[in-house]
Amino acid sequence: MIEVKNLTKYYGDFLAVNSINFKINKGEIVGLLGPNGAGKSTTIRMLTGFYTPTQGEIYINDISVRDNPIKVKSFIGYIPESSPLYNDMVVYDYLGFVAKIQNVPIDKISERIDFVVEKCGLVEVVYKKIGELSKGYRQRTGLAHAIIHNPQILILDEPTSGLDPNQIIEIRELIKELGKEKTVLLSSHILSEVEATCSRVIIINRGNIVADGDTSELLKGFTDIDRFIIKIKTSDNNDKIQNLLMMNGAKILINEGELKEIIISLPKKENIEEVIYKKIKDTDWILYEFRKEEQSLENLFKELTMEDKNG
Ligand code: ADP
C-alpha cells in the first residue's frame, strides 16, 4: 500500500533523510517514532507529495508519487503538524469547502459532512467558527478534513501535539477507530503515544531507520516500567519515606534538597497512580509535584545501538 525505496532528502548539504526503506500494508497502524529533528516531517511531506525527494521512490497503491502526485493525493488524508484551518469559517462550511476541493461529488457532499461530523465527534461545534474551537476540537476538525473524501490512507504528523491529557486520549481513540478501516501512518516523538495507538513502529534517528517491528516487541522493557517523580516538603527521614512508599517490585531513590525529590520505578500496573497518591494523602507531607515521567527515546536508542554491536 505504501512502499518507500531508498528515500533520501538533502536540504542543501544537510542530509535529513538517508536512503530509508519500508513497506506498509493495508490496515496497519504504524508509528514513525523519533526525537525532534529525526526526519519524520520531512519523510511525511515526501510521502504526501509536498516535498520532492532528492533520491528514491515512493509508491502509494503501486502508483509513483513522483509520476502522479495528484492521483496519489486522492488516496491520502493528511494532517500536517499544525493544521492550517480557516479561523473565520464555520466548521460545516469549512468541511463543505474541503469536500469540493477533494472532488467529492456535489450530491454526496452533505452526506459526507454528516458522516465525518458524527465520526469525529463534531456534532456540538458544527455551527461554530473554527477560531472559537478548543485545540482538541480543532484537531478533530483536521481529522474530519483528512477523511472527507474517504481516503484509504491517513497520514498524521504529530496528531496530539499541543493537546491536554484528556484531548490526547480522545484523539488516540479516534485514530484507533479510524484505523479499523484505513491504513494509518502517524509520527510522534513520544514512546507512550506510539505504544497506545500503533501495532507497528518504525524508529528513525538522524534520518536513518534504526528499528522497525511489532510495537510491543520493540518497546518491551521500556514501556513496562513506570517512573514517578514526587517532590515533597517533610521532616520525615528517608527510611520512613521509603517504608511508607514501598510496594512490590518498586525501586525508590530520594534526592535531597529544599524539597525531597522521590523517584519511584515499578512494573506497570493499572491505577498505580491512585495507590501512590493515597499513600501520600495519609501523611502530613506537603506535596509540590507528582508526575509520571515519559520514557526517554534516548535510552531506547542506546539500547538499540547496543543490540547492533552485539550482533
Ligand atoms: P522531525 O519531524 O523528526 O522533527 P524534520 O523532518 O522536521 O524532523 O527535520 C529533520 C532535519 O532537517 C532537522 O535537522 C531540521 O532542522 C532539518 N530541516 C527540516 N526542514 C528544513 C528546511 N526546510 N530547510 C533546512 N533544513 C530543514
Strand arrangement of the beta sheet that strand 286-293 belongs to: 251-255, 260-267, 225-233, 286-293
Please report the DSSP string for 104-125 in residue order: --GGGHHHHHHHHHHHTT-GGG
| 65's grid cell | 508519487
Compute the residue count for the chain. 311
Distance CA 43, CA 233 (A): 47
- The rounded distance, in Å, linking the Cα atoms of 252 and 273 is 15
For residue 207, the ligand 1 atom closest to its alpha carbon is 10
Tens of each residue's pLDDT in the chain, 311 residues:
999 999 999 999 999 999 999 999 998 999 999 988 999 999 999 999 999 999 999 999 999 999 999 899 999 999 888 766 889 999 999 999 999 999 999 999 999 999 999 989 999 999 999 999 998 899 889 989 999 999 999 999 998 887 888 888 888 998 998 899 899 999 998 888 898 899 999 999 999 999 999 998 888 777 778 889 999 999 999 999 999 999 988 889 999 989 999 999 888 888 999 999 999 999 999 999 999 887 777 777 766 765 444 43
Q: Cell 528517608 sits at which residue?
A: 238
b/e burial code for range 58-97 (CB count within 10 A of at least 16 → b): bbbeeeebeeebeebbebbbbbbeebebeeebbbbbbbbe
DSSP E strands: which ranges in the chain? 2-11, 14-24, 29-33, 55-60, 63-64, 76-79, 153-157, 183-188, 200-205, 208-214, 225-233, 251-255, 260-267, 286-293
> Which residue, by CA, sits nearest to atom 27 of ligand 1?
11
CA of 50 to the centre of ligand 1 (A): 14
Our answer on whether the CB atom of 34 is closer than 6 Å to any ligand 1 atom is yes
CA contacts within 13 A on the Cβ side of 11: 9
Give distance in angstroms: CA of 41 to centre of ligand 1: 7
- Residue 44 near ligand 1, beta carbon < 6 Å: no
Question: 190 C-alpha vs ligand 1 centroid, how far in Å?
Answer: 18
What's the CATH fold of domain 2-220? Rossmann fold (3.40.50)
Three-state DSSP at 99 gives: helix
Residue 11 in contact with ligand 1 by CB distance below 6 A: yes
Domain residue spans of the chain: 2-220, 225-294
Of 201, 203, 175, give the one whose Cα is nearest residue 77: 175
Distances (CA, A) of 255 to 7, 98, 269, 289, 299: 47, 54, 25, 14, 21
- What CA–CA distance (Å, rounded) separates 219 from 72? 32
CA 254 to chain centre: 32
| 7, 9, 10, 11: residue to mutate for ligand 1 pocket, most atoms within 8 A of CB | 11
Measured between alpha carbons, how far is 195 from 201 in angstroms, rounded to an integer? 8
What is the position in ligand 1's atom list of the atom closest to the CA of 41? 2
Q: How far is the CA of 17 from the centre of ligand 1 (A)?
A: 9
The residue whose CA is least distant from atom 5 of ligand 1 is 39
For the Cβ of 45 lying below 6 angstroms from any atom of ligand 1, the answer is no
Strands 286-293 and 225-233, sheet pairing = antiparallel
**Taking a C-beta distance cutoff of 8 angstroms, is the pair 174, 143 a contact?**
yes
Distance 1 CA to ligand 1 centre (A): 26
Query: Which residues, at least 6 apart from 223, have a Cβ–Cβ distance to it below 8 Å?
Result: 191, 192, 195, 268, 295
The residue whose CA is least distant from atom 12 of ligand 1 is 16
Q: Report the DSSP beta bridge partners of residue 188.
A: 33
Q: Which of these CATH numbers, 3.30.70.920, 3.40.50.2300, 3.40.47.10, 3.40.50.620, describes 225-294?
A: 3.30.70.920
Instruction: From the CA of 36, give the closest atom in ligand 1.
Output: 4
Give the pLDDT confidence score for residue 174 in this predicted structure.
Answer: 87
Per the CB < 8 A criterion, the answer to whether 185 and 44 are in contact is yes
Establish whether residue 39 lines the binding site of ligand 1, counting it when its CB lies within 6 angstroms of any ligand atom: yes
Does the beta carbon of 42 lie inside 6 Å of ligand 1? Answer: yes
73 lines ligand 1 (CB under 6 A): no
**Residue 31: its pLDDT value, please?**
96
